[in-house]
Structure 1
């Protein structure tokens, strides 16, 4: 299973079958857990996000029902393989946690690629996501796969190694993050960090390409960024 958050929220099985939850609250719950992949999210925080700060008295029981449905959708059964290659929804004393490899959530993969390219939010690795900041541990095989996919660098051994990482990171976007996630509160808490990191990645990529005489490759993307963020130098 893979979860896309960088654009319209989408959930896909490994064979490509789209299984995105149709219920907005289930999309909100899964999105909130995916943003915090491999970390526990408190039950009260999830209730606040899923109900956009206006939870009814029955919210806790309803949340448990949504969790049960999502577990079934993720294939979490007693006989399921819960290895790192799969996503699984677990219960903890304080709340719930979605576990799995960072590459299975595009937002977490994006943050990890930016980090490995040396592009960070000014507040450091965790950024100013409020409680929502991606955290992607380094996986050498991911970098190896990217290099293999890119092929030999046309710029030789002195080429900037950050550029293919940043290109891969920016290519993950299919639109504004968390479109139709089912929670305006989650989107409002997450989008500023994602937008800022995306612009920093684009700026760093543009600088690197200009130094190689390849600045023209980003004219369209930079023009779009200037139009969307005219006050940003």
Structure 2
């Protein structure tokens, strides 16, 4: 005889023929006995498990009558009488719960992922519903077996990742993580699956959600395994995700639209920095310092008053870096045209426009082939921007952040946490306040450099601008302009 208690209690003959076990009390008695096959279960314990908090006044006779009914169903030899209790004549292998336990152990011990997957599949197939479902109060015992079941599902999903089945495993992992939000090993598997499925931005976002949940609910940080995985994601070398050739060939129109739209990733270029029309005077030491800052921090903010020359300095510093550091380009995002205080979506749209990744309406085969990209990124500009940048290595120059400081900070934090290959050089009159931000003040030009700049700009406007008789006046102009780059530019004109 075989017994099943992973779900509603059942009994089957060795040939698979089912045995009718009717009545909730009868199934509860079978469950209580099957939990301890080949062992004598005291009558008082059987009464407590079958009737829970509502035992009959004549509990012992009631139990004897129930045992008699079970013997009529299973056969008299199936339930033995012993001093003080009863025993189910069965081996552990006859009970689905213990076969499940053996198979889970075999799956965990297997070195071959395919073998592990097969054992876990066989084990999990034994479940037909909640463990010990017919006991009035299964309590801690059922919870223990549910935990083993979760371990088995975790092991099966780990085997799936080892077999390259990340995409297939993601729906179940997502559901399990929602059911067990504090289960770090499950979250490790889901983040790994997102990474292996080519969705690094979502993997970083998933880590951030777990980190916040742990902090909010438990006041703790992620454990070593999660932190190590996060480090791997940040240190990985993101490669651009190319569009299908047919999609690239047929993406023809460029009208902004909210319906049937898909973001078209720009081809790898050197970025959008324009050639400057005037010479750059001084600040060579600042350029070197900013380069060092960018090597050690993913967000560097140049701080200074209006007209200090932050914009020009950021562009010169960006171009002075080794081009191989930014294979996907250096991109200037001009935020001054956005009305303050700005919305994160406005800043994201401006950034998408600068990157050449605004929504485009596609016709022909391109629309169908880019549908998956659209579904992943969604309609939110921040989501689309993170998706666009997730597998690229680029430098963003966020210029004039001060009037949209909160929105710019939101965008910067989103990109830095979701896009490991992105670094940001911002200019602002105040810090963005994003974790990890490195601040670099832009001081007024010292007198000698201010004079050089004034002479350079003045000479471009009028020959002989700084002749001997005008030197004193030029010094006075420079002093009054307080060494501010923009004011000197304008004053020279």
Query: Could you tell me the TM-score, scaled by structure 2's length?
Result: 0.34
- Aligned to 1:172, the other structure's residue is in SS state coil
Q: CA deviation at 1:105?
A: 1.9
Task: Give the conservation status (yes or no) of the 8 Å contact 1:13–1:19.
Answer: yes
Question: Which residue number corresponds to residue 143 of structure 2?
Answer: 192
Question: Which residue number corresponds to residue 118 of structure 2?
Answer: 164
- Aligned to 1:175, the other structure's residue is in SS state coil
The answer to whether 1:204 aligns with 2:155 is yes
Q: CA deviation at 1:4?
A: 2.1
Q: CA deviation at 1:66?
A: 1.0
Task: Give the conservation status (yes or no) of the 8 Å contact 1:20–1:27.
Answer: no
Structure-2 change in CA distance of 1:16 and 1:89 (3 Å)? same
The answer to whether 1:26 aligns with 2:31 is no
Q: How far apart, in 1, do the equivalents of 2:95 and 2:154 lie?
A: 24
The answer to whether 1:89 aligns with 2:79 is yes
Question: Which residue number corresponds to residue 2 of structure 2?
Answer: 2
Question: Which residue number corresponds to residue 177 of structure 2?
Answer: 226
The answer to whether 1:178 aligns with 2:129 is no
Q: How far apart, in 2, do the equivalents of 1:166 and 1:112 lie?
A: 10
Q: CA deviation at 1:89?
A: 1.4
Structure-2 change in CA distance of 1:19 and 1:224 (3 Å)? farther
Structure with the larger helix share:
2
- Aligned to 1:117, the other structure's residue is in SS state helix
Task: Give the conservation status (yes or no) of the 8 Å contact 1:117–1:166.
Answer: yes
Q: How far apart, in 2, do the equivalents of 1:15 and 1:31 lie?
A: 21
Q: CA deviation at 1:159?
A: 4.6
Q: How far apart, in 1, do the equivalents of 2:5 and 2:26 lie?
A: 14
Answer with 96-105 or 26-35: which moved more. Answer: 96-105
> How is 1:64-143 mapped onto 2 (pairs within 5 angstroms)?
64-76=64-76, 88-118=78-108
Q: Among residues 139, 147, 164, which one is paired with 1:213 in the alignment?
A: 164
Question: Which residue number corresponds to residue 44 of structure 1?
Answer: 44
Q: How far apart, in 2, do the equivalents of 1:38 and 1:220 lie?
A: 41
Q: How far apart, in 2, do the equivalents of 1:55 and 1:30 lie?
A: 17
Q: How far apart, in 1, do the equivalents of 2:178 and 2:69 lie?
A: 41
Structure-2 change in CA distance of 1:218 and 1:94 (3 Å)? farther
Task: Give the conservation status (yes or no) of the 8 Å contact 1:166–1:205.
Answer: yes
Q: CA deviation at 1:16?
A: 4.4
Structure-2 change in CA distance of 1:8 and 1:56 (3 Å)? closer
Q: How far apart, in 1, do the equivalents of 2:167 and 2:106 lie?
A: 25
Question: Root-mean-square deviation (CA), in Å?
Answer: 2.4
Answer with 189-198 or 2-11: which moved more. Answer: 2-11
- Aligned to 1:184, the other structure's residue is in SS state coil
Q: Which structure: larger Rg?
A: 2
Structure-2 change in CA distance of 1:221 and 1:95 (3 Å)? farther
Structure-2 change in CA distance of 1:58 and 1:164 (3 Å)? same
Question: Which residue number corresponds to residue 13 of structure 1?
Answer: 13
Q: CA deviation at 1:62?
A: 1.0
Task: Give the conservation status (yes or no) of the 8 Å contact 1:9–1:20.
Answer: no
Q: Tell me the alpha carbon deviations over residues 19-75 of structure 1, each in whole angstroms, 9 at most, x when there is no partner.
A: 342221111110011112222211111111111133223111111111111112112
Q: How far apart, in 2, do the equivalents of 1:215 and 1:115 lie?
A: 23
Task: Give the conservation status (yes or no) of the 8 Å contact 1:170–1:201.
Answer: yes
Structure-2 change in CA distance of 1:114 and 1:23 (3 Å)? same
Q: CA deviation at 1:217?
A: 4.1
Q: Which has the higher contact order (CA 8 A, sep 6+)?
A: 1
Structure-2 change in CA distance of 1:226 and 1:75 (3 Å)? same
Structure-2 change in CA distance of 1:116 and 1:159 (3 Å)? closer
Q: How far apart, in 1, do the equivalents of 2:169 and 2:113 lie?
A: 17
Structure-2 change in CA distance of 1:31 and 1:209 (3 Å)? same
Structure-2 change in CA distance of 1:7 and 1:227 (3 Å)? farther
Q: How far apart, in 2, do the equivalents of 1:26 and 1:89 lie?
A: 13
- Aligned to 2:76, the other structure's residue is in SS state coil
